[in-house]
Amino acid sequence: MSKVAAVIGGGVIGGGWAARFLLNGWDVQVYDPDPQAERKIGEVMANARRSLPGLTDVALPAEGELRFCASIAEAVAGAEWIQESVPERLEIKHATFAEVQATCARDAVIGSSTSGFKPSELQQGAARPGQIMVAHPFNPVYLLPLIELVPGDAGEEALVERAKATLTSLGMHPLHLKKEIDAHVADRFLEAVWREALWLVKDGIATTEEIDDAIRYGFGIRWAQMGLFETYRVAGGEAGMKHFMAQFGPALKWPWTKLMDVPEFNEELVDLIAGQSDAQSGHHSIRELERIRDNNLVTMMRGLKAQNWGAGALLNAQEKLMRADEPAAADLSADQLVRTARRTVPLDWTDYNGHMTESRYLHAFADATDRFMEIIGCDADYIQSGGSYFTAETHIRHLDEVHAGAVIEIETQVIMGEGKKMHLFHTMREGERVLATGEHFLLHVSLETRKPSAPSPEIEANLVRFAQGHARLPKPEGLGRAIGAVR
Amino acid sequence: MSKVAAVIGGGVIGGGWAARFLLNGWDVQVYDPDPQAERKIGEVMANARRSLPGLTDVALPAEGELRFCASIAEAVAGAEWIQESVPERLEIKHATFAEVQATCARDAVIGSSTSGFKPSELQQGAARPGQIMVAHPFNPVYLLPLIELVPGDAGEEALVERAKATLTSLGMHPLHLKKEIDAHVADRFLEAVWREALWLVKDGIATTEEIDDAIRYGFGIRWAQMGLFETYRVAGGEAGMKHFMAQFGPALKWPWTKLMDVPEFNEELVDLIAGQSDAQSGHHSIRELERIRDNNLVTMMRGLKAQNWGAGALLNAQEKLMRADEPAAADLSADQLVRTARRTVPLDWTDYNGHMTESRYLHAFADATDRFMEIIGCDADYIQSGGSYFTAETHIRHLDEVHAGAVIEIETQVIMGEGKKMHLFHTMREGERVLATGEHFLLHVSLETRKPSAPSPEIEANLVRFAQGHARLPKPEGLGRAIGAVR
């Protein structure tokens, strides 16, 4: 049975939470008195469906069920996670928690999306204060992994641990803050930067566009992968962090920020900034900008995934969890084809023709080959020990188009496998529709000499088992074909 | 003849400038009295050589010559750009400019890498104040495109325009600030964030690692592509920037930052931060961290390049400049093979086997096919009008390994071209060494019906011209081959 999450308040943030849960197979029960809530969540879901599933190289589980409820009591019934994303006013939050706790399960996590309030403030007057914790996400919630998890002194340890496990299973990173503070951690930085930015615009030093360029062409792209301190550690060089700080320390006394003052927040300032923002980005609608942003985030996060770093390392950790229920090699029958991939075509795999671009077919086939190698024992440890397979020859037939967001599956037939040689035939499908076939001839090599060599006896035995079993299956259509041979 | 740049001061920043110029074909003359300067610049150059050339899909020009000079006079001789990166003390800067201006060309740009001083401060007492401007880069200078260009009121307009053109040709983005201010723009944000971070660590709210995670899993990856204001514009949704600001505005009065105070910068604070940084990153050497950072930056910037956004859009603009001297289609003889690629293997194209991964061979071949399509007239405008070629079948022979940083070339032979059909044979080489061949059968399609259709008469005529010419050339080895046919 699916797990159930309750989402109380369904704006951009609540909708993002709903998307995270639904796309990870949870059922979601939404309470939001706004008559526009269904439309708004629908728009967030559309964005999430096009971007999240392709982040990992394993398909997500079947989407859960979304249900709109007429009351908080109905929404929290059966829920093991309840996420509050109502407006940032303490009395509204308190009233919401009172209603939630009147009927919810005693061991459900109650997370608050608040960006400013401390857990001790949220917990004031609650029936069970230890059940309520800050779980502060970042927009877009369906893509960005950071959650500031702040249980405060009243937080129940067992519940906090369960909250962390749940967030991790959703592909998020719970940053567990042990001490509470106004605005937690990330928003303190956002606030400091926001104040400074308002000054720079107000004083006519730079426009909103110039400020954005100063961020995204410089430190923004640094911070996307290493943050502040690790970036400075590298900048300090071999002399180390102490040396770096000695250099940077005195600047604290210099007039480099407007820290001592806050600009007056009046209509004039709002008009100035809104006008500049229109000039900068007004040629794109918000919907377009959302899609552009998500395309950018997906391509950068998938890039970091290939480097196994930062947000990409989190994706790999999530994928490992998702792969935990894959069958062991010994349990796979050699009497049938091996399923070597089930994944969603990522947003950044499409090209100017509006479909998956040709090299990504080979990307998916190569990953399927890697998976088959892993199945027969040629895994990361074995490769580390000095042996691997190199592809010598490839033949691809592109039979039909496929688009970002489609779930594709690859089945693999061993055509021949003995000694150093391995001949595989992959068939890629979306549902019943055959999209492409990939035929590959590989040689086992020594990574030291870079020359063909015998695989380990275990690998050869596993390969031969599949080769013998698959020899009894029909030969695939298109096998051994050459370009031009038929024409 | 190569252009000449002088680099005065050769640390991490000066070395980064030297790398930018050298790898873009300029000769560089360095003056730095530090006996370690040659070693230090060598280390920066090694990092730059492995990461910068693969950012674009066109190979950079031949590397310029690096020369170490015994005096400033020797370094600035013949230089049209002089970059000062000496320590951040005004009297040292003044003495350096005096020596530079004593002998340098009157129309050379003198750029200062200062992160804090205003141009009016740098220009004090100079022989020709209008020649000196702030050109503030960001580490790693060889990868990050941002340059804060601040000429101040004394700046000569023609010189500023030339400075902008030079920086653009180096793949950098000159952010021309019209008003001068302490610390320019970007470092004001860095300083604000740094102060807040020091407080959070000192008060025990978060460790350096937790702060870095709060940045890189959340707003850091947002800012890498859209900056501050555009991100908030999207967050504000259809209600617009004014609505967003109305929400955020009151927070200016809340206790969300430590803005009114500066932590005491003492040994205890330095030890606390340095110790946490060791715990966070000490298992990697600085050299390793530099390589990891550069791998991450390259993969994210190339991802943004495919999206034609942010730092990636800058790469595409640079590439367009680099492609300006490619021969026009009509000037290409049909009596010889067409060179369809000359590029450097990017850092993120390699895999666990330590060489270019198989799908990137097809990526490079597909780009070569795109280039050939462009040559015969099937360019972006034509595709926009509704016609394109789709690949139906591909055969690749992997003949030899190649590594990141290698310059690869692809030559293309048209095997057949008539009506809807196009049959191409690509050969990929590094120097004389054949790495792979790619044989491709394509069909012209209507992008509306997604069915085969006739190309425009111009395209067919161009294709037939190459097909007829290439038919007189020897058939390439490996043509028409099928997997298993020979074995």
- For residue B196, the model assigns a pLDDT of 87
Burial class of residue B478 in the structure, from the number of CB atoms within 10 Å of its CB (0-12 exposed, 13-18 middle, 19+ buried): middle
Neighbours of A279 (CB within 10 A): 12
Choose, out of A298, A359, A423, the residue to mutate when testing the contact with B (most B CBs < 10 Å).
Answer: A359
Tokens of B193: 């964030």
Interface membership of A357 toward B (CB under 8 Å): yes
Q: Domain B187-281 carries which CATH code?
A: 1.10.1040.10
- Spell out the per-residue pLDDT of chain B, length 487, in tens: 679 999 999 989 999 999 999 999 999 999 999 999 999 999 999 999 989 999 999 999 999 999 999 999 999 999 999 999 999 999 999 999 999 999 999 999 999 999 989 999 999 999 999 999 999 999 999 999 999 999 999 999 999 999 999 999 999 999 999 999 988 999 999 988 988 888 899 889 999 999 999 999 999 999 999 989 998 888 877 777 777 777 766 666 666 666 656 677 778 888 888 888 888 888 888 888 899 999 999 999 999 999 999 999 999 998 988 888 888 777 899 999 999 999 999 999 998 888 999 999 999 999 999 999 999 999 999 999 999 999 999 999 999 999 999 999 999 999 999 999 999 999 999 999 999 999 999 999 999 999 999 999 999 999 999 999 999 999 999 999 998 754 4
**What are the tens digits of pLDDT across the range B177-199?**
999 998 899 999 998 898 888 88
Tokens of B182: 């302490």
Tally A–B CB contacts below 8 A: 514
**What are the tens digits of pLDDT across the range A12-64?**
999 999 999 999 999 999 999 999 999 999 999 999 998 999 999 999 999 99
Neighbours of A331 (CB within 10 A): 7
Across the interface, whether the CB atoms of B220 and A215 are under 8 A apart is answered no
Identity of residue A83: Q
- For residue A351, the model assigns a pLDDT of 87
Q: Which residues make Cβ contacts (< 8 Å) with residue B248, sequence separation at least 6?
A: A194, B232
Across the interface, of B270, B293, B353, the residue whose CB is closest to A447 is: B353
CATH T-level assignment (fold) for domain A4-176: Rossmann fold (3.40.50)
Between CA B472 and CA B482, with CA B476 as vertex, the angle to 5 degrees is: 130
Nearest CA in chain A to B401: A450
Interface membership of A200 toward B (CB under 8 Å): yes
Identity of residue B115: S
Which carries the bigger pLDDT value, residue A6 or residue A351?
A6
CA dist., res. B425 & res. B427, Å (int) = 7
Nearest CA in chain B to A139: B235
Residue A118, SS3 per DSSP: coil
Identity of residue B30: V
Neighbours of B370 (CB within 10 A): 20
Interface membership of A401 toward B (CB under 8 Å): yes
What residues of B are in contact with residue A231 (Cβ under 8 Å)? 293
Name the pairing type of β-strands B27-31 and B4-8: parallel
- For residue A233, the model assigns a pLDDT of 87
Across the interface, whether the CB atoms of B192 and A259 are under 8 A apart is answered yes
Tokens of A315: 């994706």
The pLDDT-based confidence of A327 (bands split at 50, 70, 90) is confident
Delimit the domains of chain B by residue range. Answer: 4-184, 187-281, 326-471
**What are the tens digits of pLDDT across the range A262-299?**
677 778 887 888 888 888 888 888 888 899 999 999 99
Nearest CA in chain B to A262: B252
Over residues A178-195, the mean pLDDT reads 91
Name the pairing type of β-strands A81-84 and A109-112: parallel
What residues of A are in contact with residue B228 (Cβ under 8 Å)? 193-194, 197, 208, 211-212, 215
CATH of A327-471, one of 3.40.50.2300, 3.40.50.1980, 3.40.190.150, 3.10.129.10: 3.10.129.10
Residue A130, SS3 per DSSP: helix
Tokens of B47: 């990092």
Which carries the bigger pLDDT value, residue A280 or residue A103?
A103
- For residue B285, the model assigns a pLDDT of 86
Is A68's pLDDT higher than 80? Answer: yes
Across the interface, whether the CB atoms of B309 and A296 are under 8 A apart is answered yes
CATH T-level assignment (fold) for domain B4-184: Rossmann fold (3.40.50)
For this complex, say whether ipTM is above 0.90.
yes
Across the interface, whether the CB atoms of B481 and A482 are under 8 A apart is answered yes
Across the interface, whether the CB atoms of A480 and B480 are under 8 A apart is answered no
Over residues A113-133, the mean pLDDT reads 96
Which ranges in A337-474 belong to alpha helices (H)?
358-375, 380-384, 457-471
Nearest to B343 by CA among B24, B53, B58, B62: B58
**What are the tens digits of pLDDT across the range A215-240?**
999 999 999 999 899 988 888 777 77
Residue A374, SS3 per DSSP: helix
CA dist., res. B104 & res. B94, Å (int) = 15
**What are the tens digits of pLDDT across the range A331-363?**
899 999 999 999 999 999 998 888 999 999 999
b/e map B156-193, b = 16+ CB within 10 Å: beebbebbbebbbebbbbbbbbeebbebbbbbbbbbbb
Across the interface, of A12, A191, A273, the residue whose CB is closest to B257 is: A191
Is A486's pLDDT higher than 50? Answer: no
Across the interface, whether the CB atoms of A214 and B238 are under 8 A apart is answered no
Burial class of residue B275 in the structure, from the number of CB atoms within 10 Å of its CB (0-12 exposed, 13-18 middle, 19+ buried): middle
Sheet holding B66-68, edge to edge: B66-68, B27-31, B4-8, B81-84, B109-112, B132-136, B146-150, B173-176
Please report where in the chains the tokens 């951009």 appear, as a residue.
A12
Tokens of A431: 């549902």
Helix (H) or strand (E) holding A232: helix A229-236
**What are the tens digits of pLDDT across the range B455-477?**
999 999 999 999 999 999 999 99
CA dist., res. A150 & res. B23, Å (int) = 48
Phi then psi for A421, rounded to 5 degrees? -95, 140
CATH T-level assignment (fold) for domain A186-283: N-(1-d-carboxylethyl)-l-norvaline Dehydrogenase; domain 2 (1.10.1040)
Identity of residue A303: G
CA dist., res. B214 & res. B231, Å (int) = 17
- For residue B267, the model assigns a pLDDT of 82
Q: Domain B326-471 carries which CATH code?
A: 3.10.129.10
Name the pairing type of β-strands B421-430 and B407-418: antiparallel
Interface membership of B69 toward A (CB under 8 Å): no
- For residue B486, the model assigns a pLDDT of 45
- For residue A134, the model assigns a pLDDT of 98
Across the interface, of A139, A175, A256, the residue whose CB is closest to B182 is: A256
CA dist., res. A281 & res. A270, Å (int) = 16
What residues of B are in contact with residue A242 (Cβ under 8 Å)? 270, 274
**What are the tens digits of pLDDT across the range A295-319?**
999 999 999 999 999 999 999 998 9
Choose, out of B215, B271, B348, B487, the residue to mutate when testing the contact with A (most A CBs < 10 Å).
Answer: B215
Interface membership of A215 toward B (CB under 8 Å): yes
Identity of residue A368: A
CA dist., res. A348 & res. A354, Å (int) = 11
Interface membership of A255 toward B (CB under 8 Å): yes
Across the interface, whether the CB atoms of A353 and B447 are under 8 A apart is answered yes
* Chain A closest-CA separation from residue B179 CA (Å): 5
Between CA B404 and CA B416, with CA B410 as vertex, the angle to 5 degrees is: 145
User: What's CA A399's distance to the chain center, in Å?
Assistant: 30
CA dist., res. A458 & res. A329, Å (int) = 12
Across the interface, of A242, A293, A398, the residue whose CB is closest to B392 is: A398
Is A487's pLDDT higher than 60? Answer: no
